[in-house]
């Protein structure tokens, strides 16, 4: 499981493409996108085997990992919770081996 700097679990949404978010508007309120601040490539406090990049989406400059746009879940109230896992059979926790 990977986490945002807030400690919240990160998720990906299967209807997304590598460059287009299918989760905008009300969806993005429930599933806030992980947005990059500043310029440059996002970094991780731990070593990741995959690649972090930033993609311009309808949500803003959204971080992606190995081609998957990243989100948190409003139903997770704190670190290490994964209440969004499997929601609608479309939302899944990001793991370091995600391809």
Q: What is the rounded distance in angstroms from the CA atom of residue 18 to the CA atom of residue 26?
A: 21
Measured over all CA atoms, what is the biggest interatomic distance in the chain, rounded to whole angstroms?
34
Placement of tokens 């746009």 in the chain: 69
Q: What's the pTM?
A: 0.88
CB atoms under 10 Å from CB of 15, counted, come to 12
Residue 91 pLDDT > 60: yes
- Summarised one tens digit per residue, pLDDT across range 12-31 is 999 999 999 999 999 999 99
Name the residue ranges covered by the structural domains of the chain: 1-99
């Amino acid at each position: 499981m990977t986490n945002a700097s807030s400690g919240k679990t990160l998720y990906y949404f299967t209807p997304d493409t590598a460059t287009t978010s299918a989760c905008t508007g009300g969806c993005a309120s429930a599933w806030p996108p992980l947005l990059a601040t500043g310029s440059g490539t996002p970094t991780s406090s731990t070593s990741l085997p995959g690649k972090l990049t930033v993609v311009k989406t309808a949500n803003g400059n959204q971080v992606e990992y190995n081609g998957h746009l990243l989100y948190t879940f409003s139903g997770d109230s704190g670190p290490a919770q994964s209440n969004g896992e499997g929601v609608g059979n479309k939302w899944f926790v990001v793991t370091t081996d995600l391809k």
